[in-house]
Structure 1
């Protein structure tokens, strides 16, 4: 008798499960299931490079008498006066040179640009995984055209303002966040910088 009850329970459970699967009772037909996301290896490598850069630049600027807090991307948290804006770029260039870095970025090859685009896609995936509804990125070909022109030293300042080059942190959703939230996000989803 107990065996018959168990068999009916098993058959009933199986029939219920099949009906559930066929009718889509899990989450509604067509509901996307977000894949698990994990950061690519380059995130950790870049975080280490950014911290080394930040520490070295902070020490150099401190040595030049600046009372500023350097961010992970080499910016400063504090605002600068007009007088400071006259002096700061020169000191920044001197510090970068002393750190073995160029004052202007060298031209990038197409392979380097394609790698940068793929990394931007990784950053976008990270931001989406954090719950941000991001716009679709620019196509790789359109991005490459914009990148080539924006990195070209012959491109005028006026033309640079006209070029549309997609970046995950330029997305309107992210751009609308307070700077402190963006700084926190960059610790999880780093901007492509190194």
Structure 2
């Protein structure tokens, strides 16, 4: 058996971690397909869900409809499970097609300088919140340096949650509770 995983790869804001409590097929209700992003609430979410979660629900429904019942959907929109090694190629092909369908229904909005400035301000707020919770997070660069980092992500990009999660002392089981107290700006939808 080979561990299989799938997720949104483009600027989804997902960190690739697997949540503690995966959802089962019977628990997933695919969200309605938006005709535009006018359904995005002031919290940057659609019906309280991130773009990764919405896309994950669609991809999960698709992959289970194709017969891959052994996979699970995590709380953050990732798909994981064990697939026999001899079926890995077929599974990967089906999963790619399912993610293409999901991403077509929930495409990522264009990234603009205004949306990056909005995100930067929220990253700075998140840093303060995480520090209030007792974590040490590096000082942010200037907004212009950060925007340059985001536009050319071949090096380090200052992101408080990424810094926290790559810390050897961080307990990842605390993430769901921490997300409630200090929302991760990477999880919201920024409109152009």
TM-score for both structures, normalised by structure 2: 0.54
Match of 2:134 among 105, 128, 131: 131
**1:122 shift after superposition:** 2.8
Give, in whole Å, the separation in 2 of the partners of 1:138 and 1:173: 19
Count how many residue pairs are aligned between Structure 1 and Structure 2: 140
* Cα contact 2:57–2:77 (8 A) shared by 1: no
Give, in whole Å, the separation in 2 of the partners of 1:77 and 1:187: 24
Which residue is equivalent to 2:172? 179
Give, in whole Å, the separation in 1 of the partners of 2:76 and 2:135: 22
* Cα contact 1:134–1:171 (8 A) shared by 2: yes
Any idea what the Cα deviations from partners look like across 1:121-150, whole Å, max 9, x if unmatched?
A: 232233223222222122211110011123
**1:47 shift after superposition:** 7.7
Q: Which runs of 5+ in 1 are unaligned?
A: 1-40, 151-159
1:146 aligns with 2:139: no
Which residue is equivalent to 1:73? 76
Which residue is equivalent to 2:106? 101
Distance 1:181 1:98, change over 3 A: same
Which residue is equivalent to 2:159? 167
Distance 1:182 1:93, change over 3 A: same
Distance 1:90 1:167, change over 3 A: farther
**1:166 shift after superposition:** 0.8
Give, in whole Å, the separation in 1 of the partners of 2:172 and 2:81: 12
**1:84 shift after superposition:** 7.5
**More strand per residue:** 2
Which residue is equivalent to 2:182? 189
SS at match of 1:112: helix
Q: Which runs of 5+ in 2 are unaligned?
A: 1-41
Which residue is equivalent to 2:43? 42
* Cα contact 2:63–2:98 (8 A) shared by 1: yes
**More helix per residue:** 1
